[in-house]
Amino acid sequence: MSKKSLTKKTLFFYGLSEMPLSIASLPLLAFIPNYYVSDLGLDFAVVGLVMLLSRSFDAVTDPLIGFLSDRTNTRWGRRRIWMFLSIPLLMIAIYKIFFPQNLWEWVPISLDFLTLNLGEGGHYLLFWFLVLWFGWSMLFIPYYSWAAELSSDYNERSTIVGWRMFIGTLGNAISKFLPAIALFFFAFGGAEATIIILGICLLIVIPICTSLSVFNVSERMDYQVKQGSLKKGLIAMWRNSAFRKLIFAYFFNYLGITLSTLTVMFFIRGVTGEEEQGILYFVFYYIANLIGIPFWLWLCKKIGKHNAWTIGLLVFTFLQPCYFFLGEGDYYWMFPITFTAGLAGSTFHLIPHSMKADVIDYDTYLTGDDRAAQFFAAWSFVTKMAIAIAPFFAFTYLDLIGFDSSPGAINSPEQILGLKILFCFGLPLFLIIAIFCVRDYPITQKKQEEIRGKIKTQKENFQNQAEIMDN
C-alpha cells in the first residue's frame, strides 16, 4: 500500500459501487416486506420467516466467499473479479423480487423439501432472496475488503469510507426523490409505484456503477495468496478483542436500525395515516445523512472514531422516542425529528466501516496473515443476521398484537400503542447495548500508527530473510 494520497478520481470511482448497495438496502428492508404483506397478501409470519431463512443461509456463503476472495489470484486481482461476476445474479434477483408478475412462476428449484408452510408466494420470495443475498455477498465482501487495501493511513481510511458513504447516500436520496416526484407531479404513488421506480433504478445502477469501479480503480497486486485454513482464520478473528467489541457494537446498532426501518412504513400508515407520502421521510433522512458526513469526519480526527460513533448513538437514542407523541395527522411533525436523527445516523455506516480496516491491521500485526475478506465476510454475516432477526421479531410481534397492515385498515388503540412501542423504543434499547459494547475500544489513532509501523518492520524483516535465503 502506497503512502501516496489517493486521488479524488480514485475515491470517486471506488465509491460508485456503494450506490447500488445503498439504494437496495432501504427497499429490501422497508418497502419489499410492506409490499408483499400489505399489497400481495402474504402473512407477517411468512415474510418474517423468509427473511430469517434467507439471511441464515449466509452463515455458510459469507465466510466461504471471504475465504475464496482472499485466495483468488487473477490478472484482475482478487477483489474486482468477484464484484464483476455478481452483476448478473443481482440483476435477475432484483427483477424477480421487485416485479413479481405471478408469484408462482419461474422458481427453477422446488423448495418443498424444506417442508415449510410458506405457500407459493413464500417459496417464490425465499428462492429469489437466496439468489439475491448470494450475489450481494459476492459484491459486498470483496468490495469492502478492497477499501482496507487502498490505504494504510488512519484518517485516509475515514476519507475513503466518507466518499463511499457520500456517493451511496447521494444515490439513495436521488432514488427516493423519484417516487416523491412521481407522486406529487404525476399522482403515481403508493407501495407498488415506489417498488417499480426503485426496481428500475437498481437495474440501471447495478451494472453501470459496479463496472465503473472495477475498470477504473486499480487493485494492489503485491498481496500474497494465503493457504491457511478457514477454521484457523475464524479462531484468530475471535481472539482479536478489538474486533469483538466492534462487531458486537455494530450488530446491535444495525439490529436497531433494521427494526426501525422495517416498521417505519407501518408507523406512518397506522399512526399518522399518510402512507403515500411516506417516501418523504426517507428523503429528509438521507439529505441529513449527506450534510452530517463532513462534521463526523472532522469529529473523528478530533476525538477518535469510537468516541464520535458513541455520540451519534446517544443522539439517536434520545430522538427516537419523540415519535411516540405523534398521532393521526401529525405526519409533518416527523420531519424535524427525522432530519436531526439523519444527522446523527451518518455515523452508523461511516465510522464502523473505517474502524474495520484498523482492526484488520491489528490482526495482521498479531498473526502475520492478510485475511481482509474473511473479516468483511464476518461483518457481512453479522449484518445479515441483524437483517434476519429484526423482521422475524418485528413481524411476529405485529402478528401477535393483531396489527392489520392492509390499505385502509382500522386498528384498535391497543394495536396502535403496540406498534408505537415497537417503533419508538426498540431502536434505543439496542443502541444502548451498542454503546456498552464499544466502550474502552483499544485502537486509537496513535495505536493504529504504532501497529502500521510494526507491520512495516515485520514485512522488511521477512523480505530481508527471503533475500538471505536466495543468496
Within-domain flag for 391: yes
Instruction: Look up the domain containing 427 and give its range.
Output: 16-219+228-470
Looking at the structure of the chain, the number of domains it has is: 1
pTM to 2 decimal places: 0.69
Of 113, 122, 136, the closest CA to residue 61 belongs to: 136
Within-domain flag for 3: no
Within-domain flag for 372: yes
Beta-carbon contacts of 225 under 8 Å, excluding residues fewer than 6 positions away, are 70, 71, 72, 73, 78
Alpha-carbon separation of residue 305 from 157, 286, 298, 312 (angstroms): 11, 21, 10, 11
Within-domain flag for 191: yes
Within-domain flag for 359: yes
Question: End-to-end CA distance of the chain, in Å?
Answer: 27
Within-domain flag for 4: no
Q: What is the DSSP letter of 274?
A: -
Residue 219 backbone phi and psi in degrees, to 5: -100, 135
Q: 129: domain CATH number?
A: 1.20.1250.20
Within-domain flag for 141: yes
User: Identity (one letter) of the amino acid at 246?
Assistant: L
pLDDT tens-place values along the chain, 471 residues long: 445 567 888 888 888 888 888 888 777 877 788 788 877 778 877 887 888 888 777 767 877 887 787 777 777 777 888 899 999 999 999 998 888 865 545 455 555 545 456 666 777 888 888 899 899 888 888 888 787 677 767 677 778 877 887 888 788 777 777 776 766 655 555 667 778 888 898 999 999 999 998 898 877 655 555 545 556 666 767 777 888 889 899 999 989 988 888 888 888 888 887 766 667 777 788 888 888 888 998 998 888 888 999 999 999 999 999 999 988 878 788 888 989 998 998 888 778 877 887 888 777 777 767 666 677 777 777 877 887 788 888 888 888 888 887 766 788 888 999 999 999 999 999 999 999 998 888 887 777 777 777 766 765 665 555 455 555
Q: Is 190 helix (H, G, I), strand (E, B) or coil?
A: coil
Within-domain flag for 9: no
Q: Is 134 helix (H, G, I), strand (E, B) or coil?
A: helix
